[in-house]
Chains A and B, each alone.
Chain A
Amino acid sequence: MVATSQASSGIVGGSAVRLRGVTKAYDNRGVALGPIDLDVRRGEFISLLGPSGCGKSTALRIVAGLIAPTSGEVNVAGCAASAQTGRSIGFVFQEPTLMPWASVHDNVRLPLTLVGMPRSDADRRVDDALARVGLSDFGAAFPRELSGGMKMRVSLARALVTEPGVLLLDEPFAALDEITRFRLNNDLLALWHSLGKTIVFVTHSVFESVYLSQRIVVMTARPGRIHAEIKIDAAERDENFRTSAEYVAYCRQASQALAQASGVEAAR
């Protein structure tokens, strides 16, 4: 496949995502974002953490090519953003964003339909993707028949079905209850371990970012800039980690960085 060969061959310095001097300005609001320099290694799990309105979602959409940056350079899996095939990126929105008129199976198959993959091949991959998120039995169901957590799993399956190198998640679990969020966090970690994707995860939850990521990028607001980076060197991510002193220490560190980032904003 074209997308796969691009993902494996044209790597710039081993980065899966590379931003250089990226800014976003709006006519009426001035500079909203940047300039930002960011490198995400292949297979890395990073979180963008920041107060709401800091432009972290904007940054993610620029990486996805949904928004054009005002200036700067965006490279994803070694290709300039404008040349991406679209298939090397999976995107999960804050809401499940499913088509209400289509079954779960058809929703997950959509990205494959759009690239014109033959139906039998596509169906097999859809079944694989649904199995990966634990929804094998729900292909025929309609989105409205599912709970919030299950809809989010469908959304995740749809992002995975093209077997993208990079997975971008925009506060995907923010609207879910805590129990469901914990479970989906664990599922996401399991997927990341088994598939080895590069994951960029946007969140405003300190606890979520510490639990999930290898690196946290803390952002300031207006304009959104990178304030600090925190490396999380914990091998095991499970309930033990969630209740460990190590986890609490990381959370304190991240909270302080976030407070500083917000304070920078307040001082302006």
Chain B
Amino acid sequence: MSEVTTSSVGALKLSRGAIARMALPLVVLALSIFAWHLIVSINDIPPYVLPGPALVAETLIQDWSILWASLLTTLLTTSEGFVAAAVGGIALALLFSQSKWLEQALLPYAVILQVTPVIAIAPLLLIYLPQQTAVVACAWIVAFFPVLSNTTLGLNSVDRNLAGLFKLYRASRWQTLRYLKLPAALPYTLGGLRIAGGLSLIGAVVAEIAAGSAGSGSGLAYRIAESGYRLNIPRMFAALLLLSVAGVVIYMALALLSHLLLRRWHESALRKES
């Protein structure tokens, strides 16, 4: 093969497999909603036990102003936690890659922070930190580790001969980092960020629930806890639905970012040759 293969040809053509890949989950969704509706209406289940899908949708529309504001609050917390996790994770990984001593001294504590359940840490954080800071801190604690460990893995996965080439041309530390280590680590870091996106939402929700029981807060998780106390089950479902959608959107946005950054060169983003 001596000619350049063009990668963009056929990108717009949707194969039958691609259509099935998108349609199948939607069919499953429609069937599940229909089954849910049937179970509720046939058994005549009262809405404070299990509301039907129509009632949940109605609640979603009726309570939209409250839920929307709560969604924004939760998303803000999540994105603050995510950005802190991304910056913190990458910065720590870079620090560790420059000094083995530092890595050996600090890595155990990063692991401890990771393996301790965040729901157990949240109440303590709420005592010592202002509430909004505590919630962001929770999101950060759960989300930074995958960024740190993946970026570290990536920084250590540099091709040896390429590293030799940089040595041959007397590249400075900074040049080696910028032109070699960071690009080599990018696919790994993006993988870590994809996990961190979902985790920071979880961290935010956990902290909101912990804070909500203390009587303040207005995020979606707080709405769920509050509606639970009031037996407003339809609203619980509506808030839960919004949380799921938010999680899916975050994941898809990060997957898209990863694809856009890697599509020209990395195996993971290349179309499989048939």
B113 vs chain A, min Cβ distance (A): 32
**B186: chain A residues within 8 A (beta carbon):** 101
A124-148 vs B, CB cutoff 8 Å, 1 = contact: the mask equals 0000000000000010011111110
* B15 located at the interface, meaning its Cβ lies under 8 Å from any Cβ of chain A in the complex: no
Contact yes or no, A91 B165, CB < 8 A: yes
B231 vs chain A, min Cβ distance (A): 55
Pick the interface stretch among B64-72, B156-164, B242-250. Answer: B156-164
Closest B residue to A180 using CB positions = B2
Contact yes or no, B265 A142, CB < 8 A: yes
A44-75 vs B, CB cutoff 8 Å, 1 = contact: the mask equals 00000000000000000100111000000000
* B4 located at the interface, meaning its Cβ lies under 8 Å from any Cβ of chain A in the complex: yes
Contact yes or no, A89 B168, CB < 8 A: yes
Closest B residue to A170 using CB positions = B161
Contact yes or no, B162 A86, CB < 8 A: no
Contact yes or no, B265 A101, CB < 8 A: yes
B169 vs chain A, min Cβ distance (A): 5
The number of residues on chain A lying at the interface, defined by a beta carbon within 8 Å of a beta carbon of chain B, is: 32
Contact yes or no, A87 B169, CB < 8 A: yes
Contact yes or no, B170 A114, CB < 8 A: yes
Q: Given A86-B168, A97-B161, A115-B169, do A145 and B179 touch, yes or no (CB 8 Å)?
A: no
Closest B residue to A94 using CB positions = B161
Contact yes or no, A146 B161, CB < 8 A: no
A78-110 vs B, CB cutoff 8 Å, 1 = contact: the mask equals 000000011101010101010111100000001
A248-267 vs B, CB cutoff 8 Å, 1 = contact: the mask equals 00000000000000000000
B259 vs chain A, min Cβ distance (A): 14
**B179: chain A residues within 8 A (beta carbon):** 99, 110, 113-114
Contact yes or no, A145 B162, CB < 8 A: no
A179-203 vs B, CB cutoff 8 Å, 1 = contact: the mask equals 0000000000000000000000000
Q: Given A99-B162, A100-B265, do A114 and B175 touch, yes or no (CB 8 Å)?
A: yes
Closest B residue to A140 using CB positions = B4
Q: Given A101-B265, A114-B175, do A147 and B168 touch, yes or no (CB 8 Å)?
A: no
Contact yes or no, B169 A145, CB < 8 A: no
Contact yes or no, A150 B2, CB < 8 A: yes
Closest A residue to B159 using CB positions = A97
Contact yes or no, B5 A145, CB < 8 A: yes
* B183 located at the interface, meaning its Cβ lies under 8 Å from any Cβ of chain A in the complex: yes
Q: Given A64-B168, A99-B183, do A147 and B2 touch, yes or no (CB 8 Å)?
A: yes
**A149: chain B residues within 8 A (beta carbon):** 2
* A34 located at the interface, meaning its Cβ lies under 8 Å from any Cβ of chain B in the complex: no
* A223 located at the interface, meaning its Cβ lies under 8 Å from any Cβ of chain B in the complex: no
Within 8 A of B (CB), among A138-184: 138, 141-147, 149-150, 162
* B173 located at the interface, meaning its Cβ lies under 8 Å from any Cβ of chain A in the complex: no
**A113: chain B residues within 8 A (beta carbon):** 179
Contact yes or no, A97 B5, CB < 8 A: no
8 more A-B contacts (CB under 8 A) besides A101-B264, A142-B265, A146-B4? A95-B161, A97-B159, A99-B180, A101-B184, A101-B186, A113-B179, A114-B179, A147-B2
Nearest 9 interchain pairs by C-beta? A97-B161, A86-B170, A101-B183, A114-B169, A93-B161, A100-B265, A86-B169, A145-B4, A101-B265
Listed A/B pairs (8) with beta-carbon separation below 8 Å: A65-B167, A66-B164, A95-B161, A102-B183, A142-B265, A145-B4, A147-B2, A150-B2
